[in-house]
Amino acid sequence: MKTDVLIIGGGLAGCATAYFLAREGIDVLLVERFDLNTQASGANAGSLHIQIPHDAFVTEGADWAREFAPTIRLMTESTKLWATIGAEIDCDLEVKITGGLLVAHTQGQMRDIGRKADIERRHGVNIEFLDRNEVRALAPYISDNVIGGAFCPDEGSANPLKATPGFAEAAMHHGARIMCNTEIVGLEDTSKGFVAQTTAGSIAARRIVNCGGADAGTVAALLGLNLPVEGHPIQVSVTEPAEALVPHLVYAAAEKLTLKQMRNGTFIIGGGWPATRRQNDNKLAVNLRSLRDNMRLALNVVPALADIHVVRSWPAIVNGTADWKPILGEVPGHAGFFMNMFPWMGFTAGPISALAVAELVMGRRPSFDLKRFSAQRYA
């Protein structure tokens, strides 16, 4: 089998990259070892983030946040693209940009929010500092013990069950081919391009885009590259549907929390709490302590959730890097081999990362300069 561009991985990164290439008439073959959207892209919480994650700011510190902060612009641009791309691919992605509200229960948390907001504002984030009364006025559903917070009007949510399939459909509409249940098990860089060994035979490709998510490091290692991509088991929960109550994406400075109400009335509650690997078979499982602490925190922020049942919790692996920065673009010294790996918040950044990487693959100037996210930093 032959293709111009081989895309490895059928999550959001892979399917969106396939779309942005195929719409320009590029010959694309996407290979996925399972089915499309079965890993992080289909299991995530659907938040569209712009603010620096508060828990990371507290644990990693202000120097880390300053280093990370340029990544925010990529997420801001991606959120703008989320708002328009659904119409282009003819798919209702349930995008809702109603703002993200980070709330504090203590003066210490307010000070941390203020220090973080200073960094965010320097990187173009539209962020308002709110006192207790302003929080009440904006979000009457918030607990009385909240003393203030910060609001970013440009944040929101989209539906992870719709995004990747939507991009895949649109890519196929433009001629992209997709092979599922096929794993890439070997890669060779020959003088005439790449040869990929798969569980269904070999594929010759002029260029490759590695969209392997948490396994992007393993895929890169097939070419002898050492890219320290991490995979962490985390979990999310969904409630039964309820009357419209919470229009915003809500975070807490106290601990890990993301909470939002979807169009169908259900609440998605997460924030990156660890899931478990079962000892007997190494399979992922929900961690009950994480579930309890996550729900306790949610109730401490939105007390009305006490009357609403959680109906399902699920674990999945999130792709990570130690510095939280993405690995995007052509790998130096490996002409024709591109990375599209956005860690931790790759749902938010999926559309713009895919567009910019696709533009680089086509030899065009990218809509967003990806130089600072190059794999070069690991050389």
First vs last C-alpha separation in the chain: 32
Between 147 and 221, whose beta carbon lies closer to ligand FAD?
221
Per CB under 6 A, which of residues 228..257 are in contact with ligand FAD? 234, 236
Does residue 290 touch ligand FAD according to CB under 6 A?
Answer: no
In order, the DSSP letters of 246-303 are: --SEEEESSS--EEEE-TTSPEEEEEEEE-EE-TTT--EE--HHHHHHHHHHHHHH-G
Q: How far is the CB of 111 from ligand FAD (least distance, A)?
A: 26
Q: Which of 30, 127, 187, 316 binds ligand FAD (CB under 6 A)?
A: 316
Task: Give the whole-angstrom CA distance, residue 45 versus residue 315.
Answer: 11
Query: The tokens of 378 are what?
Result: 């690991």
Q: How many residues bind ligand FAD (CB under 6 A)?
A: 44
Q: Which stretch binds ligand FAD (CB under 6 A): 32-40, 110-118, 141-149, 357-365?
A: 32-40
Smallest distance from the beta carbon of 150 to ligand FAD, in angstroms?
18
Minimal distance, residue 158 CB to ligand FAD, in Å? 9
Query: By CB under 6 A, which span of 11-19, 20-28, 61-69, 98-106 interacts with ligand FAD?
Result: 11-19
Which among 43-51, 84-92, 289-297, 326-334 is the span making contact with ligand FAD, rule CB under 6 A?
A: 43-51
Close Cβ partners of 84 (under 8 Å, ≥ 6 residues apart) = none
Q: Examine residue 270 and tell whether it contacts ligand FAD (CB under 6 A).
A: yes
Backbone angles phi, psi at 201, to 5 degrees: 105, -175
**Contacting ligand FAD (CB under 6 A), which of 18, 22, 30, 49?**
49
Site residues, ligand FAD (CB under 6 A): 8-14, 31-34, 38-41, 43-47, 49, 183-184, 211-215, 219, 234, 236, 258, 270, 316-319, 341-342, 344-348
